[in-house]
Amino acid sequence: MKKIALITGATSGIGEATARILAQNNYNIIITGRRDDRLGKLAVEIIEKIGVDCYPLCFDIRNQEETEDAFHSLPSAWQNIDLLVNNAGLAAGLNSIHEGAITDWQQMIDTNIKGLLYITKIVAPIMVKNKSGHIINIGSIAGKEAYANGTVYCGTKHAVEALTKGMRIDLNAYGIKVGSVCPGAVETEFSMVRLKDAKANEKVYAGFEPLAANDIADAILFMATRPAHVNIADIFILPTAQAAATIFNKHE
């Protein structure tokens, strides 16, 4: 029987690449996000080109009720999740603490922390009942250090780091694996979402080779396919040109 993976935020970037690579490795896939058209296209690709089953769920993970309703709309066989990839997230704005917009902070906290908790609160009890399962949270270098103008985003990713450690302890008695992947700069829609400006977005990745979404999907696949007695607690993965959150070896 195929395993079932639920990937939040699969309409672009890391989540989309992860959905593809897990499908190629024989998982049936549940993909989520707010952009229904993209979910539909990816589901068709996974079913028709890759040849496994795929169930798209369109909802805003900031909304607890929407998240619960979406999950419970799944046929019961699909609710037995083997692998939960908590990926949906974003940075909004790049501002010093005294200049940041409260609405940006709310969006980041509601998505990166509360949204991750809402879906985990639904899936973890199923894993506990099954006495098996694997949760992989997407953290960040921003969860390992703080950098100028990224305070609230860094705060949310530090929270993901703590939640990962706590979840691993709470779920230990049930044989459930919990780990995180913490990337540095990955070229996805992340900086466009954060900066809302094409030129500024281009500048972020200029002069060095950033990670690609597939590099992170690869790490997730590695974690997901270790033997039953092996749990990779954390993969901290950087572009070769990046040494710390704001230290890059850029060429002209």
Nearest to 161 by CA among 142, 146, 188, 148: 142
133: partner contacted, choices ligand 8X3, ligand NDP, none (Cβ within 5-8 A by kind): none
153 counts as catalytic: yes
For ligand 8X3, which residue has the nearest CB?
Answer: 140
Residue 156 neighbours by CB under 8 Å, 6+ apart: 89, 108, 109, 112, 113
30: partner contacted, choices ligand 8X3, ligand NDP, none (Cβ within 5-8 A by kind): none
Judged by CB under 6 A, the stretch of 77-85, 96-104, 164-172, 182-190 that binds ligand NDP is: 182-190
Q: Quickly list DSSP for 186-217.
A: EESSHHHHHH--HHHHHHHTTTS--EEHHHHH
Among 20, 28, 62, 127, binds ligand NDP (CB under 6 A): 62
Among 2, 26, 35, 222, binds ligand NDP (CB under 6 A): 35
Is there binding between residue 137 and ligand NDP (CB under 6 A)? no
Is there binding between residue 144 and ligand NDP (CB under 6 A)? no
42: partner contacted, choices ligand NDP, ligand 8X3, none (Cβ within 5-8 A by kind): none
Phi, psi of 22 (to 5 degrees): -70, -40
How far apart are CB 27 and ligand NDP at their closest, in Å? 18
- By DSSP bridging, strand 28-33 and strand 54-58 are parallel
The single residue of 55, 153, 174, 205 carrying the catalytic annotation is 153
Binding residues for ligand NDP, rule CB under 6 A, total 28
On the CB side of 170, CA atoms within 13 Å amount to 13
Judged by CB under 6 A, the stretch of 27-35, 77-85, 171-179, 243-251 that binds ligand NDP is: 27-35
Handedness of CA 109, 161, 182, 40 (dihedral sign): negative
Burial state string for 239-249 with b = 16 or more CB within 10 A and e = fewer than 16 = bebbeebeebe
Nearest to 182 by CA among 107, 133, 111, 232: 232
Is there binding between residue 193 and ligand NDP (CB under 6 A)? yes
193: partner contacted, choices ligand NDP, ligand 8X3, none (Cβ within 5-8 A by kind): ligand NDP
Instruction: Please tell me the distance from the alpha carbon of residue 65 to that of residue 49, in angstroms, as a whole number.
Output: 33
Residue showing tokens 């195929």: 2
Is there binding between residue 185 and ligand NDP (CB under 6 A)? yes
Binding residues for ligand NDP, rule: CB under 6 A, are 9-15, 33-35, 60-62, 87-90, 111, 138, 140, 183, 185-186, 188-190, 193, 213
The residues assigned a catalytic role are 153
